[in-house]
Amino acid sequence: MTITKGPLRVNFPFPIIDPHIHQWDLLNTPRILTWPKRLLGWNRKLYETAIRLGASETDKRYVGRPDFVAHDYLPEDYIGDAAGLPLTHIVHVEAEWRDREGLGPVGETRWLNNLFSDSDNNSPVKLGAVVGYVELQRSDAAAVIAAHQQASAKFSGVRQMLAFDLDEGIMRFCPRPYLSRDKHWQQGLSLLEQHNLSFDAWFFHHQLDELVVLAQAFPGITFVLDHMGTPIGLGGQFASYGRTESARDVTLRIWQMRLQELAELPNVVVKLSGLFMPVVGWGYEHRAMPPTREELLNTAGPLFDFVLQTFGVDRCMFASNFPMDKVSLSLAQLYEFYGALVAHYPEENQRKLFHDNAARIYRIADLS
């Protein structure tokens, strides 16, 4: 797919916070592709060929195109993607840092703090907050949380991905199903309230009943539902999902029902993001050109509208999930779609969705 750039047709008269991006340096930080990059990175073509041949079909299907995740994604890359947008701050969400023993996950927070502080004064986009990784079921979870907080004053939340599907054709981001029901895991989760930290909850749509239970059991914790609960195959076939219109209707009903249940719980908020990952099934990653704004408004627009109407403007925030969604469209195209979607909203409500809610939820205090 060709990533196109051009002038925006939507005006943003306020600053934007992007509350969900990922950064990685494959050579210098512990990632899945660190060793392939070190061995073959001197030859881009050879390296990309090796990744393409070595990746499983499940992995390739999930990311859409391996080359979109096989190279570094650093502040200058995001700033280039954000050209023309009034983006001022980002929230970095953990990105599968591979050193997970002991205090290993704290390395990502420390790395981010240094990565952005080196050029923060001159950068048009600053680090607003860090959502870091903690294995909450471990006995040392409290020590890891404390170390994250010591590593960065911007550490404001935890994410431990819980997305799991029995279909082996879908990437699993959790070692086993129903981890959230584990008593040791829940003991670790309870620590977040003591530290005034939020929990970024990423489940697939059919798992959202788990989040309902968690939010009811821990009313003092703010749960941020990532990527609108990722309805697998809602836009078209993905693995065993979405093969027929009736199958997609079932997914839609389950997804809507669970979101309505979650909306009844005041400690749950939603990121309007991630709906253009390949797992949703639109197939944009296979096209020569990205979808138009009008196509997005007609296909994905009603899904975003449903979430906005269900949760209200005070509990939703637009986010990019870049670079993961970049396989489908550019950052400018994504935000143009977002802007057009809520162009009829009062400016005060638009500002909540693009800026104020993220600043409040992630406690982004320094907006100078």
Other CB atoms within a 10 A radius of the CB of residue 146 amount to 15
CA 243 to chain centre: 26
CA 16 to chain centre: 16
Confidence of residue 67 (pLDDT cuts 50, 70, 90): confident
- Residue 189: C-alpha distances to residues 100, 141, 192, 198 (Å): 17, 9, 6, 10
Q: What is the mean pLDDT of residues 294-322?
A: 98
Which pLDDT belongs to residue 120? 58
Confidence of residue 2 (pLDDT cuts 50, 70, 90): very low
Which pLDDT belongs to residue 368? 43
Whether residue 93 contacts residue 132, with contact meaning beta carbons closer than 8 Å, is answered with no
CA 2 to chain centre: 22
| Residue 3 confidence (pLDDT) above 90 | no
- Residue 126: C-alpha distances to residues 163, 172, 176, 275, 351 (Å): 29, 31, 36, 25, 18
Q: What is the mean pLDDT of residues 174-182?
A: 95
Topology given in CATH for the domain delimited by 16-23+73-361: TIM Barrel (3.20.20)
Q: What is the DSSP letter of 24?
A: B
Locate all alpha helices (DSSP H) within the chain, ordered by sequence: 34-40, 44-54, 57-63, 75-81, 106-117, 141-151, 183-194, 208-217, 245-263, 293-299, 301-311, 331-341, 347-351, 357-361
CA 200 to chain centre: 9
Q: Residues 37-41: contacts with CB within 8 Å, 24+ apart? A: 37/70
Three-state secondary structure of 306-323: HHHHHHCHHHEEECCCEC
For 120, the token pair is 């923060």
CA distance 82 to 22: 14
Residues 6+ apart with CB under 8 A from 53: none
324 three-class SS: helix
Other CB atoms within a 10 A radius of the CB of residue 143 amount to 14
Task: Write down the domain spans for the chain.
Answer: 16-23+73-361
Q: What is the mean pLDDT of residues 22-45?
A: 92
CA distance 160 to 136: 8
Q: What is the mean pLDDT of residues 200-226?
A: 99
Q: What is the mean pLDDT of residues 78-84?
A: 95
On the question of a cis peptide bond just before residue 175, with omega within 30 degrees of 0, the verdict is: no
Q: What is the mean pLDDT of residues 73-99?
A: 95
Q: What is the mean pLDDT of residues 144-167?
A: 97
Q: What is the mean pLDDT of residues 273-296?
A: 95
Q: Would you put residue 96 in left (φ > 0), alpha (ψ -120 to 50) or beta?
A: left
Residue given tokens 């096989």 in the structure block: 70
Whether residue 209 contacts residue 217, with contact meaning beta carbons closer than 8 Å, is answered with no
Partners of residue 238 on adjacent β-strands:
241
Residue given tokens 């199958």 in the structure block: 247
Least confident stretch, 56-70, 127-141, 261-275: 56-70
Q: At what angle do helices 245-263 and 208-217 cross, to 10 degrees?
A: 10
